[in-house]
Amino acid sequence: MLRGLILGILLTVIVAAGSGYLILRSGIIPANADAKPGSLERFIAGMSLRATLRNEAPKIRNPVPLTDAKLIAGIKLYRKHCLICHGTAAGDAAPSAIGRGENPGAPQLASKGVEDDPEGWTFWKIAHGIRWTGMPSWKDVLTDSQIWTLTLFLKHMDRLPPGPEAAWRATTADGAVGAPTFSQGSSVVKSEGTTGKP
């Protein structure tokens, strides 16, 4: 009786593994980036992300103070590392080419921002990236302080004070800048140390 049960379980596992292998080999599962993920895949990925965020995202307050200088430092980091996928202040009106070509697409943050999310969640997403998507992990490139600075900007993106707002509106994909706050060289970014960990 017990032997039969064990044999049955073994056989089921072997058949399931064999079917999985054959399905993969047949090419039924799309490997192309222009195939929209199905609703089951999206549901599973979303549930996994939310559960991970609940367990792992830091619960502390953003240690970077809310000042114009820090917001502008965040905008500079964003322009250097994020704008290529997440777009400019134009948002959905002029989505970035890479953002459009990804599946799931990179949200154009000026239109679909994360202002309502807890800052710890945004910090975690930037630090670790998001599995099964084109969102990279930045923890080996940016310091924690730089990631919190980016988080500060994303949290306040829809209600920036006049100086940072002008800098943000003037930020373009090719790095062109028009606001006075941006024409003072790259001192803000340098003081944040964008070239790696201090």
Contacts with ligand HEC by CB under 6 A lie at 81-82, 84-86, 98, 102, 104, 106-107, 114, 122, 125-126, 130, 133-136, 138, 150, 154
For residues 68 and 117, which CB has a smaller minimum distance to ligand HEC in the complex?
117
CB of 85 to ligand HEC, least distance (A): 3
For residues 120 and 179, which CB has a smaller minimum distance to ligand HEC in the complex?
120
CB of 38 to ligand HEC, least distance (A): 14
Radius of gyration (Cα) for the chain, nearest Å? 22
CB-CB contact of 121 with 53 (8 Å) = yes
For residues 15 and 71, which CB has a smaller minimum distance to ligand HEC in the complex?
71
Closest to 78 in 3D by CA, of 187, 172, 185 = 172
Helices 39-56 and 119-128 cross at an angle (nearest 10°) of 110
CB of 163 to ligand HEC, least distance (A): 21
Measured distance CA(42)–CA(75) in Å, rounded: 30
The three-class DSSP label of residue 130 is strand
